[in-house]
Amino acid sequence: MIELKKQIRFRRFGILTIASVFFLIFIGGLVRSTGSGMGCPDWPKCFGQWIPPSDISELPLDYKTKFAVAGKEIADFDAFKTWTEYYNRLIGVVIGLFVFLTVIFALPYLKSTNKKIFWLSFLAFILVGFQGWIGSIVVSTDLATYMITIHMLIALIIVALLIYTVSASQDFVIYQINPFPGLKTLIWVLLIIAIVQTVSGTQVREAIDEIAKRIDNRWVWTDNAGNIFLMHRSWSWFSLLISIYMMLQFKKIFLRESILYKASLALVLLMCTQALSGAVLANLGFPSQFQSIHLTLGSLTVGLIIFISILVFTKIELKLENK
């Protein structure tokens, strides 16, 4: 039996680690929206230095060719973009340390019947290292869209593992009476749509970047984004309707006392907020300050869907009582 103090320590630090990963996703969105992704053209150093330059005078005259990426000269040095990307990397290192400490705090579970809490925490730590390597590939491929998508999906897998381990360590019990038909199917549909939205979102952003190179008038960017934008928007409304239906079903079964109802209500509110931020992007010329907000809200939405699916599918804390 694990001491209560150690259980509480793991849960609290696990929640902190999950929050920090979402914060990193937000920072990653800022890096992307400010065009700072290539602020450091090499990895793990930045312009060959552990502490990046603050002025062009600190770089050699041929820096654009010396640090060429994918056979192409890099853009002119921009201290803001360089330090934005560098801070992103530093925050990533700190969060890697957080995940490592989460593994350390999960060590007591090795002596319990719930050993998977430790091993899944450890797997999350391994993926953090793999994510760092993928980050280097993103840089070396000059921000290839498919690598950005992979980078994002791995971040969500790390979040899913951490959410699972923290959920599995909780003591709460959910009493579900007469679960409504098709619940698991709805969860699967939401998860699939969440993945599609993540992938299509990165493609929409790439399409907008290409359009911006040809058209200065940002107010017509959406009109030129094509079918990928229409698909991204349409699927978001579909997932919102499913979430509303699921929330109403949970309310009917549990009234307002269940964590499943509260989580589904939070999911609906989060999706509405994300849709609002998406509307701002689409109708106000993709303001950069809303791009990272939209990305973070989308990631939080995926995280909440994962949390609900864990409760429904794994039955870690889910006790079915058909009466």
Question: Per-residue confidence at 19, pLDDT binned at 50, 70, 90?
Answer: very high
69-75: average pLDDT? 84
What's the N-to-C CA distance of the chain in angstroms? 33
The domains of the chain are located at: 1-171, 172-323
Question: Per-residue confidence at 242, pLDDT binned at 50, 70, 90?
Answer: very high
Output the pLDDT for position 219: 80
Which pTM value belongs to this model? 0.85
The residue with greater pLDDT, 206 or 48, is 48
pLDDT over 90 percentage in the chain = 37
Question: Per-residue confidence at 17, pLDDT binned at 50, 70, 90?
Answer: very high
What's the pLDDT tens digit per position in 154-178? 999 999 999 999 988 876 565 555 5
SS3 320: strand
DSSP string, 6-24: HHHHHHHHHHHHHHHHHHH
What's the pLDDT tens digit per position in 271-286? 999 999 988 988 888 8
Question: Per-residue confidence at 241, pLDDT binned at 50, 70, 90?
Answer: very high
Strand partners, 176: 320
Output the pLDDT for position 256: 64
* Cis before 52? omega within 30: no
DSSP state of 72: B
Q: How far is CA 252 from CA 78, 189, 191, 255, 322, in A?
A: 56, 21, 23, 6, 15
The residue with greater pLDDT, 312 or 299, is 299
82-107: average pLDDT? 93
pLDDT over 70 percentage in the chain = 93
Strand partners, 46: 49
Output the pLDDT for position 178: 53
Burial zone of 171 (CB within 10 Å; 0-12 exposed, 13-18 middle, 19+ buried) = exposed
> How many other C-beta atoms lie within 10 A of the C-beta of residue 45?
14
